[in-house]
A and B are shown apart, each in its own frame.
Chain A
Amino acid sequence: AQTVTQSQPEMSVQEAETVTLSCTYDTSENNYYLFWYKQPPSRQMILVIRQEAYKQQNATENRFSVNFQKAAKSFSLKISDSQLGDTAMYFCALNTGNQFYFGTGTSLTVIP
């Protein structure tokens, strides 16, 4: 069975500072993908970043980067230079085959 765990229900960060959101997962598959999605108050689910398990290099998208530790099954998201628009719920997700598995989310608040 596949599981995704986000152990931080809520976090806050000062504007312009850096914050890291944690995610661990469990799967017996060798080929899989990992994602971080952002859900602002508008409710829309927005893809932030993706990582292919067979790639050792950590993915980066502008201010967003991941720390992918395959052996430890850890996939954390780092947000640099936090902005007010980063306030949202963040979901970590694992894709294997035809299904996605989501964590329970981390609510991030950026404080002005």
Chain B
Amino acid sequence: NAGVTQTPKFQVLKTGQSMTLQCAQDMNHEYMSWYRQDPGMGLRLIHYSVGAGITDQGEVPNGYNVSRSTTEDFPLRLLSAAPSQTSVYFCASSQGTGGGFRGYTFGSGTRLTVV
């Protein structure tokens, strides 16, 4: 019963470096998403996916890429890290949206610092 697994839990990057935040879920959830959490701003949606091969942009997609080649995995790529991307990142999944929707299952988060 792993749920949603995010790696790494902490990361420090230099400006301009690239990296991938990993997210995997073992609940056969169709829907997966990435959020960033900044002080005083709540959680903001970066990208989401409603199924394998389908992704879409959220509120703050610039500087990030995603892909969904399998149902289980939804990695988030930072192309060229900037200090403005210093944040806590959450991956979340759900069976779907609409009727009977029971909310997200969240990963434990990744604290990213860009220096």
Contact = CB atoms under 8 A, between A and B. Distances in A.
Contact of B50 (A98, A100, A102, A104): A98
A91 B106 contact: no
Contacts, number: 54
Interface string A28-65: 00010101010000111101001000000000000000
A80 interface: no
Interface residues of B, number: 26
Contact of B88 (A43, A91, A103): A43
A105 B101 contact: no
Interface residues of A, number: 22
Interface string B74-115: 000000000000001010100001100111101011010000
Contacts of B42: 4, 91, 102-105
A20 to B, nearest CB: 20
Contact of A50 (B33, B56, B58, B103): B103
In the complex, which of the residues A4, A43, A103 has the most CB atoms of chain B within 10 Å of its own CB atom? A43
B46 to A, nearest CB: 11
A99 B109 contact: no
A95 B90 contact: no
Contact of A44 (B31, B101, B104, B108): B108
Given A91-B43, A104-B42, A99 B58 contact: yes
Given A102-B35, A103-B42, 6 more contacts: A33-B101, A42-B108, A47-B103, A91-B43, A95-B101, A100-B45
